[in-house]
Amino acid sequence: MSTIEAESPAPAQLLFDSISSRTCIVGVIGLGYVGLPLIDAFTSAGFSCTGFDVDATKVNSLLAGKSYIKHIDDAKIAAWLEKKAFDATAEMERLSEPDVLLICVPTPLDDARDPDLKYVVSTCESIAKSLRPGQLVVLESTTYPTTTRDVMVPILEKSGLKAGGDFFVAYSPEREDPGNPDFSAAGIPKVVGAIDETSLQIAKALYESAVAGVIPVSSCEVAEASKVLENIYRAVNIALVNELKVLFDEMNIDVWEVINAAKTKPFGFQAFYPGPGLGGHCIPIDPFYLSWLARKQGSNARFIELAGEVNRAMPNYVVSQSAKFLNEVQKPIRGSKICLLGVAYKKDVDDPRESPSFELMELLLELGAELTYSDPHVPRLPEMRHYDLPAMESQELTPDFLKSCDAVLIATDHTAFDYEAIVKHSALVIDTRNATARITGNREKIRKC
């Protein structure tokens, strides 16, 4: 589609033209693991971007050309600044300046495991204060179906402007895969839904300018539901292999060998792998958005709830197994020196959000372990909303340090770890990720968990 239809409101045509000419300014609200890759995609496509974040430390870091996310390095940010394609600010009064606003704020669960939309709500309230005709507002944060239409739009319309006429609203769920070199934000197709056809065409034109492909759907509700489905699919299948892992452990069957055998089937099977629990912002959280919505509709999402129970039980299982392995060498957890390897939620990233390592740490500390950790991507423990842990810094895995530990617990299988040396110099290695599968020597020290 080369233009908005003639009967479309004038603000729509002006915005469409500015997207086509790359003269519109793209505002990204939330400068984290979703927001920064989006800025990279749009600046690479020839757009100018303004980043917004309430954390002035992040803003100042970016304006100084310094990154705090591994896969968006300093050189990339310096390049944005050098070509004057990027600005960053903590001043929400400037939200009227961009022509497009992409919302990339957290959507956590509260203590009752219900959706907590306070960041989305507060962001929309800030936008409403300065919303002007002709702006496009897109929510990228993962959420439950109906959020865009029923939560966002009423707040934005407090500005006195009408959605779909004066300004435009769409939903396009983020699809970041940190640590995967095969995919960048620009290389991943984007699902786009909107509250009306005009908003859909504008949002489609915007994303087509910067990403590999756009999949338009009939409504923002379909787009919201598609993201939740993507994450439920993974959560349920991970729960399945986690449950099988516990069962097979009791039967003295290696679940990793079972999975490797099963995945040789060229059809009808996709391999998922067990671990010490779920991490990241999406998989441990997003399925519960739909189960919450089901309860509101008077229904039950029993499969989702069961998968959640299985996955949430894994840290306790790992600690229980660790206690058993230590007992085998006449050591209790209390007083044992345990080094946890990896606090990022997945391999080769610096993202600690919802990492199961933090729950493992809490459980081990409660049982009296003398705990340390090592993670080349997370030099010190960050502050976390749900965990109360002492300040710690990553330890270097020298031979002397490893020999001083009673056990090393592999929670995240970073490539940077020298597993040969870890096994060689450690008294006991508890492996939750099958990271030591290729180690041939000293296997009597390894316990899979």
Asked if 165 and 37 sit in the same domain, the reply is: yes
Asked if 93 and 142 sit in the same domain, the reply is: yes
The structure tokens 């980043």 sit at: 51
User: Tell me: the pLDDT tens digits for 377-434?
Assistant: 999 998 776 788 999 999 999 999 999 999 999 999 999 999 999 999 999 999 999 9
Asked if 32 and 134 sit in the same domain, the reply is: yes
Reported pTM: 0.87
Whether 303 has a pLDDT exceeding 60, the answer reads: yes
Better-scored residue on pLDDT, 30 or 283: 30
For the question of residue 220 being annotated catalytic, the response is: no
Asked if 214 and 237 sit in the same domain, the reply is: no
Better-scored residue on pLDDT, 215 or 298: 215
Catalytic residue from among 24, 124, 282, 339: 282
Rounded to the nearest 5 degrees, what angle is found at the Cα of 339, between the Cα atoms of 334 and 341?
140
H or E stretch covering 117: none
**Is 434 contained in some domain?**
yes
Asked if 130 and 214 sit in the same domain, the reply is: yes
The overall longest dimension of the chain from CA atoms, in Å, is: 80
d(C-alpha 41, C-alpha 174), whole Å: 13
Would you place residue 300 in the very low, low, confident or very high pLDDT band (cuts 50, 70, 90)?
A: confident
Per DSSP, which regions of 300-369 are E strands?
A: 337-341
Nearest partner of 283 among 112, 180, 142, judged by Cα: 142
Asked if 191 and 177 sit in the same domain, the reply is: yes
What's the confidence (pLDDT) of residue 97? Answer: 97
Whether 1 has a pLDDT exceeding 50, the answer reads: no
Where in the sequence is the domain holding 369, given as residue range(s)? 314-449
Instruction: Calculate the average pLDDT of the chain.
Output: 92
Which CATH number covers residue 413?
3.40.50.720
Asked if 233 and 363 sit in the same domain, the reply is: no
**Is 4 contained in some domain?**
no
d(C-alpha 269, C-alpha 262), whole Å: 7
What's the confidence (pLDDT) of residue 282? Answer: 64
Asked if 61 and 168 sit in the same domain, the reply is: yes
**Residue at which a domain ends, from 171, 203, 218:** 218
What's the confidence (pLDDT) of residue 185? Answer: 64
d(C-alpha 35, C-alpha 62), whole Å: 12
Contact status, residue 341 vs residue 417, Cβ threshold 8 Å: yes
Asked if 443 and 324 sit in the same domain, the reply is: yes
Residue 418 CA: distances (Å) to CA of 220, 410, 414, 422: 46, 12, 9, 6
Whether 285 has a pLDDT exceeding 80, the answer reads: no
Helix (H, G, I), strand (E, B) or coil at 206: helix
Per DSSP, which regions of 19-148 are E strands?
A: 25-29, 48-52, 86-89, 100-103, 136-139
**Residue at which a domain ends, from 287, 312, 337:** 312
Asked if 185 and 229 sit in the same domain, the reply is: no
Would you place residue 289 in the very low, low, confident or very high pLDDT band (cuts 50, 70, 90)?
A: confident
Q: Are strands 214-216 and 190-194 parallel, antiparallel or unpaired?
A: parallel
Provide DSSP, 351-411. Answer: --TT-HHHHHHHHHHHTT-EEEEE-TT-SBPPP-SS------BPPP--HHHHHH-SEEEE-
Q: How many domains would you assign to the chain?
A: 3
